[in-house]
Structure 1
Amino acid sequence: MFRRVAPLLAEFNFVPLVSKVSHRETRYRLLTKDHVSVVHPGAGLPEMLKVDPAALTLLSSTAFDDVEHLLRPSHLACLRKIFDDPEASDNDKFVALQLLKNANISSARLLPGCQDTGTAIIAGYRGEQVFVPGNDEEALSRGVYDIFQRRNLRYSQNVPLGMYDEKNTGTNLPAQIDLYATKGMEYSFMFVAKGGGSANKSYLFQETKSVLNPKSIRRFLKEKLAMFGTSACPPYHVAVVIGGTSAEMTMKMVKYASCHYYDDLITKPDMRTGYTFRDLELEKEVLKICQDIGMGAQFGGKYYAHDARVIRMPRHGASCPIGIGVSCSADRQALGKINKDGVWLEELETEPIKFLPDVKEDELLNVPPIKVDLNRPMSQVLQELSKYPVKTRLSLTGTIIVARDSAHARMREMLEAGKPLPSYMKEHPVYYAGPAKQPDGLPSGSFGPTTAGRMDPFVDLFQSQGGSMIMLAKGNRSRQVTDACRKHGGFYLGSIGGPAAVLAQDAIKKIECLDMEDLGMEAVWKIVVQDFPAFIVVDDKGNDFFEQL
């Protein structure tokens, strides 16, 4: 009466989750032919590539030396392209010009392009015919250590002393090193210097099948892409990954895609070579969404993003993870490889001056900046700023206090313990930043702004005590800051995120550690600036420039 029907079994067919990419357009330079040799173990075994740990140290050290000071020609070309676009705003062009000038300064290797010289991230793929005597991670870490000691870079890594206490390592170690096994007789690498601003703009959304249709995915992306704001230093390289066999796989692909690692990925699913593919049409739509957001290159315009990468992956039927992330204006990565011919590193641009347009700042912005003298009582400076609307361009000269996350947290503890807020927080504007090391002969190391939003929880409290009345940093802020400024008569001034070397060379004239020296780069500093560029973003009347876009 009942028949048992045998299930139809699919035949075994191995297909890689992600197809191999060639990086065939990448140009490499030879670092050395030393430290590598081909050995023949015999007994029917294939020849092996013996790699001395010194090769890993040399490659790691040189890679991070390059990425901290140089950029890919393709990224510089994206900045240069802004000047040829009639739809680009004057603010887009002004920011692009500052970033190109910054690239030119940092290429001299005295000042890094960004003060946040980042977490050192290394991904390595070691072929099965590659033999390294010793510890690969240790050799690569040694390279990171060497270059951070030798160059004017910043130590940003904190290690826990317990659950709540921590200290800066003073070396920028530990690095994040992920090593994988693969086929062949080559050891290939990707080196990334990832700053906190762009790393913090990595988002995972656990969605469902319901979002997998054109209308829903566009609505979803339009909402989420606007969340990034400008605090991670646009123009961005945007990466979107839809699907993934796990949350961690999705976010790994986001990081790799934002670094252009998968630019050679197949553009349609292939049941033989790989299921994961780039969707070129959706990439165009994502870029258009970014252009229409209106934030532009930090202060309004079209160039919120240079480009977009959208990758579709397999997923579990009950899950639909979607990851979104960015690489910022400090687009710092390089590929490397070690083979029988030597140790190789991707060629970055050593002469970025060729990308500079023949244009001056005054030609881009018709209205000259308002010159503001900071060397007078705070009440007088506030009174002058109150005359001007949001978006007004300023040129600041005088004394500024520098304090960021850890210093703010310590000051809050002081208030909670019944102690007063330090007087310097009441007498001067506060700049959210942390400098890189100071080169010999220069008044300052690279010293660009950090993300303002991390200090939002402190603003109302500090302003109620007469502090933080003028704040200077990068990126948009939350409603609580706008409300606090309206209530207490304060201002938030936006600085361009990205051109840290320009600020160190042109605007910062003197720097000294003022307080909390034990916090390292997060100590309280006093700086003297001349013609420091800024924009009024939030005023004392409750107006927010970004809400008007």
Structure 2
Amino acid sequence: MSTIKEQDIVDSIAEALQYISYYHPPDFIRHMAQALEDEESPSARDAITQILINSRMAALGRRPICQDTGSVNVFVKLGMGVRIESDKTLQEMIDEAIRRAYLADDNPLRASIVIDPLGSRKNSGDNTPGMLSVELVRGDLMSITVSAKGGGSENKAKFTVLEPSQSVADWVVSTVEGLGAGWCPPGILGIGVGGSADKAMLMAKEAMNEEMDMLELVRRGPSDKIEELRLEIFHRVNGLGIGAQGLGGKVTVLDVRIRSFPTHAASLPVALIPNCAATRHMHFELDGTGPAEFADPSITDWPEPILDRTTGSYRTVDLNCLSDEEISSWRCGDTLLLRGTLYTGRDAAHKRMVETLREGHAVPVDLRGKAIYYVGPVDPVGDEVIGPAGPTTATRMDRFTEEVLAGTGLKVMVGKAERGKEAIDAIARHRAAYLVAVGGAAYLVSKAVKKARRVAYDDLGMEAIYEMQVEDMPVTVAVDTRGQSIHLLGPALWRKQH
């Protein structure tokens, strides 16, 4: 019998959440470094390079890898010989830890959880509650896995029930091909097979947090049916040509993790949950002797060549002097460095702008001939102008694109992932352009922001409209004025060649 104190649980989880906000797991860095060596697509290599540079910068600066510091998932395997010394529920303890971690003065994390999801969707303000899963096991230890799951990859979770004779690999590959780039590849696929709908989804979520070993598995070959399936899916998904950030390339997935469980003879439940380039998780155990201790990783874990990145192939663009001629000269795949005024706006801001336009009024910011960035930044600390400020998934803004372009004169949008046909048609019709910044490089992007102030919709918090002054912010042209999309052309090119 061991007795674990409430404070040790709270302290350990709070520290773990801070830790994973700025440290990638070492196994992820190793696999990303190998991906950079293997990748041949220039656009994808640039994206992977930015992710690695950002990861190192976040580790050194102890600031979030990604602006989306995620929903908190806590998996507890509680030994039946454990007594928890507390009058609180485990959920209450975990929420206290989340509150402390996300409101920390020296490294505040973005609160993304909204309460009343079917109604007001008001932000909880402290990222509570967490998503808790508990399993009673033998022993006198409390085993805890903590992860922070970003919304872009979580939104791509899929579930199906196959017939027992159908191929799991076929379904996974077909499903990943249709996911788009909103899950920020390259990343990890967590797959749960068997059980029931809820069991399969839980296994997929847990599988993502296992230590990556695909480099070793490729080297030695499979030793059982599960490893054979992992390798098959790994090679087939990478053969799709999706590449980093969906720009086209050889590396889309770094590892495939699979868990299985007995199921009904008539069923083959399969769950798929991708984890993004901001993979964040850690595991620790409590035995009653005090809180967990976490050792900082060695900075040598990051590959040295990433420090030599140059920007010689980038073209500098002055956002304060955008002309139709300038924008029309951009082509899919061009890499740009943005300078000048850049406004921000996500889902809530776009919804309000469209409502205002429909009422016959002008929006509160003059966007004529300007650029807008789909981002919800982390609050700044110290002398920071703004906290980590990576792009959010642009697809969610597709429904607003035509009305915003037509009603405001906006010319340039910056986000991540692909645009749908409706949005691409609107972009071409208005001779506008869509650019992508690298998802998973939020701290790197924030260093390009030299000034920032809220200028509209202050009550929306991180979804308010900011006016930012940027300098040398790296982006890639994803949809040009002709309606050409790199998220269609890039993967098609690499799927054909490789």
TM-score, reference length from structure 1:
0.82
Structure-2 separation of matches of 1:318 and 1:353 = 47
| Alignment deviations for residues 271-326 of structure 1 (CA, whole Å, 9 cap, x no partner) | xxxxxx97111211111122211121122211111121234433323332221121
Query: Higher helix fraction: Structure 1 or Structure 2?
Result: 2
**Which stretch of the first structure deviates more once superposed, 443-452 or 139-148?**
139-148
> Is 1:279 the equivalent of 2:239?
no
Equivalent residue number for residue 92 of structure 1: 44
Structure 2 residue aligned with 1:233:
184
One-letter amino acid matched to 1:369: Y
Q: For residues 402 and 317 of structure 1, what CA distance do their matches in structure 2 show? A: 52
1:490 aligns with 432
Identity of aligned residues (%): 28
- Structure 2 stretches of 5 or more lacking a match? 218-223, 493-498
Is 2:280 the partner of 1:294?
no
Gaps of 5+ in 1: 1-47, 268-276
Say which is worse superposed, 144-153 or 394-403, in terms of deviation. Answer: 144-153
Give distance in 2, aligned partners of 1:218 and 1:170.
41
**Per-residue deviation at 1:109?**
4.7
**2:316 paired with 1:371:** yes
Residue 218 and residue 514 in structure 1: after superposition, are their counterparts in 2 closer, same or farther (change >3 A)?
A: same
Question: What is the 5 A alignment of 1:47-446?
Answer: 48-85=1-38, 87-132=39-84, 133-135=86-88, 136-150=90-104, 151-160=107-116, 163-212=118-167, 217-242=168-193, 244-260=194-210, 279-298=226-245, 299-345=247-293, 347=295, 349-351=297-299, 354-357=302-305, 360-362=308-310, 368-376=313-321, 378=322, 380=323, 382-446=324-388
User: Within 5 Å, which residues of 2 pair with 1:434-473?
Assistant: 434-473=376-415
* Equivalent pair of 1:335/1:345 in contact (CA under 8 Å): no
Amino acid at match of 2:407: Q
- For the aligned residue pairs, the C-alpha RMSD in angstroms reads 2.3
Matched-pair contact (CA < 8 Å) for 2:364–2:456: no
What is the alpha-carbon distance in structure 2 between the residues aligned to residue 138 and residue 204 of structure 1? Answer: 30
Q: CA deviation at 1:416?
A: 2.9
Paired with 1:309 and 1:358, the residues of 2 have a C-alpha distance of 27
- 1:340 and 1:219 map into 2 onto residues whose CA distance is 46
Which 10-residue stretch deviates more, 164-173 or 73-82?
164-173
Matched residue, 1:526: 467
Q: Which residue of 1 aligns with 2:496?
A: none
Residues 359 and 290 of structure 1: is their aligned pair in 2 closer, same or farther, counting only changes over 3 Å? farther
Supply the distance in 1 between the matched residues of 2:52 and 2:349 (Cα, whole angstroms). Answer: 32
Displacement of 1:526 after TM fit?
0.9
Instruction: Give secondary structure in 1 for the equivalent of 2:270.
Output: strand
Indicate the residue corresponding to 2:220 in structure 1. Answer: none
1:236 Cα offset (Å): 1.0
Query: How far 1:356 sits from its partner (Å)?
Result: 3.0
Q: Which has the larger radius of gyration?
A: 1
Q: What SS class does the counterpart of residue 9 from structure 2 fall into?
A: helix
Counterparts of 1:340 and 1:207, CA distance in 2: 44
- The offset of 1:50, in angstroms, is 1.3
Query: Structure 1 residue 84: deviation in Å?
Result: 3.2
Cα pair 2:357 2:407 within 8 Å, conserved: no
Query: How far is 1:353 from its partner?
Result: 6.0
Is the 1:154–1:435 Cα contact (8 Å) retained in structure 2? Answer: yes
Matched-pair contact (CA < 8 Å) for 2:196–2:269? yes
Residue 511 of structure 1: aligned partner = 452
Secondary structure of the 1:532 match is strand
* Superposed displacement of residue 263, structure 1: 7.7
What number of residue pairs does the alignment pair up? 477
Shift of 1:202: 0.8
Structure 1 CA distance for aligned equivalents of residues 7 and 306 of structure 2: 44
Partner of 1:40: none
CA contact (8 A) 2:391 2:416 kept: yes
Query: Aligned to 2:46, what secondary structure does the other structure show?
Result: helix
Distance 2:266 2:306 in 1: 55
Alpha-carbon deviation of 1:488?
Answer: 1.6
- 1: CA distance between counterparts of 2:300 and 2:19? 13
Q: Is the 8 A contact 1:421 1:467 kept in 2?
A: no
Distance in 1 (alpha carbons) for counterparts of 2:466 and 2:300: 32
Per-residue deviation, 1:469:
2.6
Residues in 1 aligned to 2:422 and 2:297: alpha-carbon distance in whole angstroms: 42
Stretch moving more, 316-325 or 430-439:
316-325
Q: Closer, same or farther in 2 for the Cα pair 1:100/1:470, shift >3 Å?
A: same
- In 2, Cα distance between equivalents of 1:63 and 1:360: 31
Any conservation in 2 of the 1:107–1:352 contact (CA below 8 Å)?
no
2: CA distance between counterparts of 1:473 and 1:385? 17
CA contact (8 A) 1:63 1:345 kept: no
| TM-score (normalizing by structure 2) | 0.90
Report the alpha carbon displacement of residue 340 of structure 1 after superposing the two structures with TM.
4.4
Supply the AA of the counterpart residue of 2:346: R
**What is the one-letter code of the residue matched to 1:370?**
R
